[in-house]
Structure 1
């Protein structure tokens, strides 16, 4: 049990940091000024005094620019150069300048100004510019992109990364970790989702000025140009392992409540299908025929959005070798009366991906060295998930309170986290909507900052025999479990106070039933399939009871997956070995990624050393050496 707890602890310790450093987008701050022909670039390294570089906008071949585009947030123990190259975010600086000028001209277009010459900020269809990028004219306000001093003045990029004057915008460039199709869909959907949250629900989110979903634009890369929100991260207030007190309770709630409020508002809309939000013209003609939700009275919004294919992570992450045609077979959208199709679709695309990788490996055509035996075991697991997926829930069950409401299509934002909330002028702004999708609330997961999958401890002295007599190290292990349980419980209490009709998601039985699906959504390494299989195995012991109480979608007490004793023994051995490997291998929980400042410090200390093949290893004995006492 402790190995599992440590694994969860390791994940939680780095998840918030990874969220910033490993996001699929790189963010660059853009300053907009008046007629400046040179740009100041600032190094992306974490430093108190970052290096500034000046370059002419017209000099696209200036070698001084190269460092600015490099990934410098961290390093990997293996394949460091390759992984950094995938995260290089090169774009045309001259193109940014041209785009900003085009935005200014668009804003001054007679169709976009009122009788006084001020921007006419009314809702209009998305407009395509000459370079192929798109602009949301309703967001082209003077407050957002700056105001020209006279009608002939030009708005150009003044500086990048370090801004002290003018207006600030954020330029988001996706890492090259996914296929062009996935990146395109993801950008189009995220922009439409932000637009929906702002215009329909009136929520505090950054306003998008312009975007491009492919390389055919002035920036020569997919991008989102959006409002920059000044303020402090809500994460500064989050102290999840603070000891119980009235002050701690108030502090924890000050973080949980605004996020719970935001979730409550996005749950207010019942959609008509499962999938993801897009602008009307970005989905197929067939999908354009269906309104996303009923009852829209604003004629300007009736045909603004539609529901198209899901951009949930599992339909894009590590699917580079699957063709667009194959991905489209699995990523929806799905009808509202087929909620379990989301589970079987995830199982099917993971199965297809594993088979594809195995085929390439066996033909010696893989782009990396593959563990063939692991891929074969993955195939078994996803076949099992495929077999049980449609039977995990009974969407009409009388044993689940408000079951129909739990299975309605709802918008789900996977990255609700205090790291993605900025407090500014007494308001909370939410900034990350990547991979947002419409799915049944019962199939969603809790936000990572409060989610806890380990053994629950509600009272240390009552639940843990002999707790008061334990040594401090052992006490800390159980205290960690208690604090994680407490934080998750606080989240559930907030949900219950706002949406009591949805609180059945907190049922332990509901959590067990959806665990195989949620584990499949959390795959981070090739061996994480073991947790998917483990969740399916766990269901076997309870299946009779779930069938009898009509919780699952099967009338047969026979478990949908037939396991042999040999298979179960092998799986248990593999799982235990993987847990030991995860706990004993430094930085295994981060995939070998290390924050750059820590990496450089450990390298200077001789704890991290470079090997002959260009990889790095951790010298465990060196790490365990005690520092000499100062005399």
Structure 2
């Protein structure tokens, strides 16, 4: 449940020789649920609760009455709820934010570079500071803060100033190590600026950022222009009935897919001197690995910020992880896949083992070692038969979170794109369609071609219809790829998909030692096709390096069945025990969910 918390401020603040009066803090809480499920469409419900008003002083950063503004309210975890919510508690200094806003306004007419250090580890984008200015040139303070979104990785606030200007403040949750948070935020700031200023794309203007906790806000942040409008998700209907070719269906799909495809096309038009993530040059410490961009000394390529390279931070420290995070030379396009698999193998070998877990972990290690041995042979770099291979292997910007949830449509029909976390230059050929459109399950192109469809049970019919709709949506995306980016369309061919699938599996896996089954299945398919792929100059001209046997694969299949039974037997196992807040409150009210010590459990039917 998304609680929309609003803070109003009242305090006399000294501004030069003047005094400005802005309102005591008042918190108003309303409730709105906006649940995104690309397979089920959107549920948007509102439940009315009485507004709650509280008052606080602008400079009282430790006043507990304002804590609700910082809390995570989107859902509840069946286990470890308190711990998970603590990671997502985004308490920041509001007086510090006000200080940043004031300092930025005094800097408006003093730009000495594109990026300016304003102190306490905060950088300002000088070309964007006019967004804070008002006609009377008076220094504005914060008037109101509204909690507008609690996402998967961030909490977003709308900040309204006394001059009427509105800003967006985005704070990352503490679910990852601090060094990754800093790196990721710095890279996202640079990527956002690059897309806007160098490629001319429609991005809310970046105003200021800091990846450190040691700043005015005492929390890492990105401050940007606030864009009014509706999320594109409001118009995304992935379960509309009908097949591709139906004009009504295509028109409905095009509303969300077309602007995102056009943005992807624009972001991949340029190639880079290597593989890694973008940073402002001033944010990379001396001695760190980096690659300069030709004719643009503001940016460099540094370590990747793809989240999958940092999921091992529970057993590996920063120095160990940084051995595998790039940047990688343009001459070694598959080294990033090799390093990712080597990183996971290294972390698995360092895990603390119990007697019972040794065999299980050894099986997992064997799967990732197979990818490690195969990764740099996945493509025939020297003599590939894939059309336009040289273009497909070039480093191009990949943005993991292209999604209708990250696009704001203004009243004028302008599409404003948000969220560039994890953006990395990778070979275009190993990239995948955006998650909201990607589908790797059984393909059903036409329900009428399914044998005895009318005779199927209702649940089986629903599954087939789901497959058909997901197949159709991805087919629409790939149809656009062929039409508008023909030179790059081989990346979506079935053969290329099979070859790159192991990498995509690892990128998607959240827990390598629990969710390795998809990788094992992908390697199984690749092993049995290797001879033909080798003769066709798709993969490297070597014997198949995948040493997993049919016996291994049979064992993995059995383990997968056991894992699925375990997940299905646990309430909300598929979501890791997380329950959307509106669902949780309904189940709690019905007595379905009850307290179990510090956790929750689902009451068993008698």
The aligned residue for residue 119 of structure 2 is: 130
1:88 deviates by 0.9
Count of residue correspondences: 564
Partners of 1:546 and 1:552 within 8 A in 2: yes
The aligned residue for residue 596 of structure 1 is: 581
Q: For 2:4 and 2:173, locate their aligned partners in 1 and report how far apart those are by CA, in whole Å.
A: 10
Partners of 2:348 and 2:361 within 8 A in 1: yes
Partners of 1:287 and 1:307 within 8 A in 2: no
Deviates more, 1:249-258 or 1:378-387: 378-387
Partners of 1:343 and 1:517 within 8 A in 2: yes
The aligned residue for residue 556 of structure 2 is: 571
The aligned residue for residue 194 of structure 1 is: 192
Classify the secondary structure of the residue corresponding to 1:597.
helix
CA shift digits 1:127-170 (9 cap, x unpaired): 111232111111001xx2241635xx432111110778722111
The aligned residue for residue 102 of structure 1 is: 103
Partners of 1:401 and 1:504 within 8 A in 2: yes
Partners of 2:8 and 2:25 within 8 A in 1: no
- The answer to whether the aligner puts 1:498 opposite 2:492 as a matched pair is no
Partners of 1:75 and 1:593 within 8 A in 2: yes
The within-5 A match list for 1:455-470 is 455-462=442-449, 464-470=450-456
Partners of 1:30 and 1:170 within 8 A in 2: no
The aligned residue for residue 628 of structure 1 is: none
The aligned residue for residue 545 of structure 1 is: 532
When the two chains are superposed, the root-mean-square deviation of aligned CA atoms in Å is 2.6
1:396 deviates by 3.6
Cα 1:78/1:372, change in 2 over 3 Å = farther
Cα 1:289/1:32, change in 2 over 3 Å = farther
The aligned residue for residue 435 of structure 1 is: 422
The aligned residue for residue 433 of structure 2 is: 446
Cα 1:497/1:39, change in 2 over 3 Å = farther
Cα 1:136/1:42, change in 2 over 3 Å = farther
Q: For 1:394 and 1:469, locate their aligned partners in 2 and report how far apart those are by CA, in whole Å.
A: 47
Cα 1:191/1:326, change in 2 over 3 Å = same
Classify the secondary structure of the residue corresponding to 2:189.
helix
CA shift digits 1:379-410 (9 cap, x unpaired): 22221211111111113443211111110000
Cα 1:139/1:27, change in 2 over 3 Å = farther
Partners of 1:233 and 1:422 within 8 A in 2: yes
The aligned residue for residue 17 of structure 2 is: none
Partners of 1:452 and 1:488 within 8 A in 2: yes
Classify the secondary structure of the residue corresponding to 1:183.
helix
Q: For 1:332 and 1:29, locate their aligned partners in 2 and report how far apart those are by CA, in whole Å.
A: 42
Match of 1:416 among 375, 389, 402: 402
Q: For 1:600 and 1:156, locate their aligned partners in 2 and report how far apart those are by CA, in whole Å.
A: 38
Q: For 2:23 and 2:311, locate their aligned partners in 1 and report how far apart those are by CA, in whole Å.
A: 40
Classify the secondary structure of the residue corresponding to 1:202.
coil
Partners of 1:27 and 1:170 within 8 A in 2: no
Partners of 1:27 and 1:173 within 8 A in 2: no
The aligned residue for residue 171 of structure 2 is: 173
Q: For 2:266 and 2:329, locate their aligned partners in 1 and report how far apart those are by CA, in whole Å.
A: 23
Cα 1:79/1:551, change in 2 over 3 Å = same
The within-5 A match list for 1:205-224 is 205-224=203-222
Partners of 2:5 and 2:69 within 8 A in 1: no
The aligned residue for residue 310 of structure 2 is: 316
Structure 1: runs of 5 or more not aligned: 1-16, 113-122, 297-301, 364-369, 623-631
- The structure where strand makes up a greater share of residues is 2
The aligned residue for residue 35 of structure 2 is: none
Partners of 1:38 and 1:57 within 8 A in 2: yes
Classify the secondary structure of the residue corresponding to 1:263.
helix
Cα 1:37/1:472, change in 2 over 3 Å = closer
CA shift digits 1:306-328 (9 cap, x unpaired): 11111011122352442221111
User: TM-score, normalising length from structure 2?
Assistant: 0.87
Partners of 1:210 and 1:224 within 8 A in 2: yes
Partners of 1:42 and 1:68 within 8 A in 2: no
1:55 deviates by 1.4
The aligned residue for residue 14 of structure 1 is: none
Q: For 2:27 and 2:8, locate their aligned partners in 1 and report how far apart those are by CA, in whole Å.
A: 11
CA shift digits 1:551-598 (9 cap, x unpaired): 112322xx3122345423321110122233334443222111111111
Cα 1:60/1:573, change in 2 over 3 Å = same
Q: For 2:341 and 2:282, locate their aligned partners in 1 and report how far apart those are by CA, in whole Å.
A: 30
- The answer to whether the aligner puts 1:515 opposite 2:501 as a matched pair is yes
1:524 deviates by 2.4
Structure 2: runs of 5 or more not aligned: 11-19, 33-46, 148-157
Q: For 2:80 and 2:240, locate their aligned partners in 1 and report how far apart those are by CA, in whole Å.
A: 38
The aligned residue for residue 115 of structure 1 is: none
Classify the secondary structure of the residue corresponding to 2:564.
helix
Partners of 2:8 and 2:23 within 8 A in 1: no
Q: For 2:439 and 2:465, locate their aligned partners in 1 and report how far apart those are by CA, in whole Å.
A: 14
- The structure where helix makes up a greater share of residues is 1
- The answer to whether the aligner puts 1:147 opposite 2:134 as a matched pair is yes
Partners of 2:114 and 2:127 within 8 A in 1: no
Partners of 2:275 and 2:330 within 8 A in 1: yes
1:377 deviates by 3.2
Partners of 1:57 and 1:94 within 8 A in 2: yes
CA shift digits 1:34-67 (9 cap, x unpaired): 6526444444864645534331112122120122
Cα 1:29/1:399, change in 2 over 3 Å = farther
Classify the secondary structure of the residue corresponding to 1:236.
helix
Partners of 1:185 and 1:311 within 8 A in 2: yes
Partners of 2:89 and 2:173 within 8 A in 1: yes
Cα 1:548/1:420, change in 2 over 3 Å = same
- The answer to whether the aligner puts 1:339 opposite 2:329 as a matched pair is no
Q: For 1:280 and 1:500, locate their aligned partners in 2 and report how far apart those are by CA, in whole Å.
A: 34
Classify the secondary structure of the residue corresponding to 2:340.
helix
Deviates more, 1:124-133 or 1:343-352: 124-133
Cα 1:247/1:549, change in 2 over 3 Å = same
Classify the secondary structure of the residue corresponding to 1:387.
helix
Cα 1:313/1:541, change in 2 over 3 Å = same
Classify the secondary structure of the residue corresponding to 1:527.
coil
- The answer to whether the aligner puts 1:281 opposite 2:282 as a matched pair is yes
The within-5 A match list for 1:180-259 is 180-244=178-242, 245-259=246-260
The aligned residue for residue 40 of structure 2 is: none
Q: For 1:354 and 1:289, locate their aligned partners in 2 and report how far apart those are by CA, in whole Å.
A: 28
The aligned residue for residue 602 of structure 2 is: 618
Structure scoring higher RCO (CA < 8 A, sep ≥ 6) equals 1
Match of 1:406 among 382, 389, 392: 392
Classify the secondary structure of the residue corresponding to 2:96.
helix
